[in-house]
Amino acid sequence: MGMWITILVVMSSILILMLSMPTQGSPPPDPFLPYADLLHRDSALDVVENGSFSCAKIFSGDRQMCSHRPVDRAFFYIRVTVEREAPHEVSFQVTKDALYLGDLVLLWGRPDTLFPYSAPTLQWSIPDGRTVSALVPSANRLNYLAPVQVVSFTF
């Protein structure tokens, strides 16, 4: 009888341990998903014009910078550059410790290019034709746990 109780306790412990472990292979949530409309050239201008963005003309009449400060998100500042009535770039300023290089590698794979400036910049060419750049603060070593400071999508 005591042996059956021991086996039951061991099996229950294993089951509890298995249920408490995170599932492997499930990617982290995409922090850019709430901004999907902003990340497509066809809909980005509508989002900027009809959303909570503030815009200002820059230098010439055909270029403007539009900005938005989201609340309670992974990003504390979003800037859209519009050139000749078309979105050119969308940049996300990342909230401290909200996004790491490893998160971007899980989203888009290994970066295509590394620019070793004073603050390393990594670049991905994603399937829909956009280029994504990520800036890592210079005080950090380049590894999967390096925090990301800025992520920019160029159309």
Question: Looking at the predicted structure, is the pLDDT value of residue 78 above 70?
Answer: yes
Burial (CB count <10 Å: 0-12, 13-18, 19+), residue 153: buried
Displacement of CA 7 from its chain's centroid (Å): 46
Q: Could you tell me the pLDDT band of residue 1, with boundaries at 50, 70 and 90?
A: low
- Check residue 63 and give its pLDDT: 87
**pTM of structure:** 0.78
Query: What is the per-residue pLDDT across 124-154, written as a single tens digit (0 to 9) for each?
Result: 998 888 999 999 987 667 888 999 999 999 9
Query: What is the per-residue pLDDT across 82-95, written as a single tens digit (0 to 9) for each?
Result: 988 889 999 999 99
Which segments of 21-98 does DSSP mark as H helices, in order? 41-50
Label residues 96-107 b or e (16+ Cβ within 10 Å = b). eeebbbebbeeb
Query: What is the per-residue pLDDT across 2-17, written as a single tens digit (0 to 9) for each?
Result: 666 666 554 555 545 4
Query: What is the per-residue pLDDT across 9-61, written as a single tens digit (0 to 9) for each?
Result: 545 555 454 444 444 556 568 999 999 999 988 899 888 888 889 998 887 66
Question: Looking at the predicted structure, is the pLDDT value of residue 74 above 80?
Answer: yes
- Check residue 135 and give its pLDDT: 94
- Check residue 15 and give its pLDDT: 46
